[in-house]
């Protein structure tokens, strides 16, 4: 009965089922498909060809999901990076840098208050806490923390420097964010990078004046491309973090933290080729810096995540190509039925392929009947030998 049980499990296992490459309802997708609907984030293509420069930097919204029944060719650029934070120091509050689609925005800068977190998961830490002393104490703002995703950047935010005057107060620094998620869990949680924290505000009694900190950079976005054929990247897919705000000469305000890189996920049923001229980039931004003598420096953003999957066992990364972080890779099988409603996948314990949570009822019944039939024959033959 052990063989019966094993084959029964195989017959109901989802290992025979796979991801969906879409229904092709948008036809042959080109640059114009995206520019005609800049707020749209989900596409169903017969083929996908990107030859120009598509720029969605800092435009937020949901993550990109692009399905193509046929081949995908990217010779141009697709940019979903976060934008930089604003420079502070003028006594006005500033909004944080915008996130790439699927990422988190940078933290706002404020006056006489804390810098704030970026809004994405794993957002950068707080900027400096600033208290204006009515007796005339000078307070120098600390830097905002950098956003993190796959990694936490080595360059962290610094405290506001202690000025030369008696009683000057250095503002505290923000903390860089913590890592979150994993490439293996993209099927259940696919998000972009996190924003950096805003820098701390400041008070300078020598001016006298009150200065706002600089705001944080936005996190890189998230893009997933599924192809029923080959994917060839000769151009670039960019999901970098935005740099923190900051400009030399803004007195004692704190620099903004930078956003982290985002997420790139490519899945090809055929071959997946990253050519010598290609770039896949999910690097973090650089922390903002104001007048370095009296203020804190914003933390840098951490790296994002890249995942490359294929169905035929061929992932060709040509020497000379630029991939900003070590990619995670798996294999998967393409669905032969359309549409498959569930996007969630699991790693089968029987097969190394990626499989979907739901499957077509007809395939389930056929697999069940065949599995039970084969198991019954094996069990019968085994019983006769024992007799």
Chunked into runs of 10 residues, the chain (387 residues) has average pLDDT values of 38 47 96 97 98 97 96 98 91 91 93 75 80 67 93 93 70 92 93 94 74 92 96 98 84 88 96 96 94 79 96 88 89 60 29 32 45 58 56
Helix (H) or strand (E) holding 285: none
Same domain, 277 and 377: no
Q: What is the pLDDT of residue 374?
A: 58
What is the β-pairing status of strands 47-50 and 72-74? parallel
Does residue 143 sit in the same domain as residue 45? yes
Regarding whether 258 and 382 lie in a shared domain, the answer is: no
Residues 180 and 140 placed together within one structural domain of the fold: yes
> Which residues neighbour 52 within 8 Å (Cβ) at sequence distance 6 or greater?
31, 76, 77
Do 351 and 374 belong to one domain? no
pTM of the model: 0.81
User: pLDDT value at position 19?
Assistant: 76
pLDDT value of residue 1: 47
Whether the Cβ atoms of residue 105 and residue 118 lie closer than 8 Å to each other: yes
- Residue 169 · residue 140 · CB < 8 Å: yes
Shared domain for 12 and 100, answered yes or no, is: no
Q: Are 241 and 193 in contact (CB under 8 A)?
A: yes
Same domain, 375 and 248: no
pLDDT of residue 109: 86
Distance CA 134, CA 16 (A): 72
Is 190 found in the same domain as 51? yes
Are 157 and 195 contained in the same domain?
yes
Q: Do 101 and 10 belong together in one domain?
A: no
- Single out the residue of 178, 221, 181, 190 nearest to residue 82, CA to CA: 221
Note down the domain range covering 44.
Answer: 18-358
CA distances, 335 to each of 268, 347, 349 (Å): 12, 15, 19
Q: What is the pLDDT of residue 289?
A: 86
CA 231 – CA 48 distance, rounded (Å)? 9
| Number of domains into which the chain is organized | 2
Domain identity same for 326 and 371: no
Write down the pLDDT at residue 284. Answer: 97
Q: Is the domain of 232 the same as that of 143?
A: yes
């Amino acid at each position: 009965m052990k063989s019966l049980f094993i084959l029964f499990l195989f017959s109901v296992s989802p290992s025979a089922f796979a991801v969906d490459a879409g229904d092709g309802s948008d036809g042959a997708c080109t640059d114009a498909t995206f520019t005609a609907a800049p707020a749209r984030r989900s596409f169903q293509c017969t083929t996908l060809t990107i030859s120009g420069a598509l720029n969605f930097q800092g435009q937020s919204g949901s993550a990109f999901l692009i399905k193509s029944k046929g081949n995908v060719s990217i010779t141009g650029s697709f940019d979903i990076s976060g934008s930089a934070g604003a420079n502070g120091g003028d006594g006005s509050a500033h909004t944080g840098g915008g996130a790439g689609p699927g990422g988190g925005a940078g933290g706002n800068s404020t006056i006489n208050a804390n810098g704030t977190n970026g809004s994405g998961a794993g957002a950068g830490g707080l900027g400096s806490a600033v208290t204006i002393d009515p007796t005339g104490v000078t307070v120098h703002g600390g830097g905002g923390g950098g956003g993190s995703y796959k990694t936490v950047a080595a360059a962290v935010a610094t405290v506001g420097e202690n000025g030369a005057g008696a009683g000057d107060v250095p503002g505290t620094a923000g903390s860089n964010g913590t890592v979150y998620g994993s490439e293996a869990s993209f099927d259940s949680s696919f998000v972009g990078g996190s924003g950096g924290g805003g820098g701390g505000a400041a008070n300078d009694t020598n001016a006298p004046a009150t200065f706002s900190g600089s705001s944080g950079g936005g996190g890189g976005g998230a893009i997933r491309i599924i192809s029923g054929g080959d994917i060839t990247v000769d151009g670039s897919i960019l999901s970098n973090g935005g740099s923190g705000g900051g400009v030399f000469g803004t007195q004692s305000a704190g620099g903004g933290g930078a956003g982290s890189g985002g997420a790139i996920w490519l899945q090809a049923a055929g071959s997946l080729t990253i050519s010598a001229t290609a770039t896949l980039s999910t690097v973090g931004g650089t922390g903002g810096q104001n007048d370095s003598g009296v203020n804190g420096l914003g933390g840098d953003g951490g790296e994002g995540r890249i995942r490359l999957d294929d169905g035929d066992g061929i992932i060709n990364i040509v020497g000379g190509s630029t991939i900003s972080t070590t990619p995670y890779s798996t294999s998967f099988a393409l669905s032969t039925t359309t549409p498959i409603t569930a996007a969630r996948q699991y790693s089968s314990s029987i097969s190394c392929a990626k499989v979907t949570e739901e499957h077509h009822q007809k395939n389930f019944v056929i697999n069940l009947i065949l599995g039970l039939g084969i198991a019954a024959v094996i069990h019968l033959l085994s019983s006769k030998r024992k007799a």
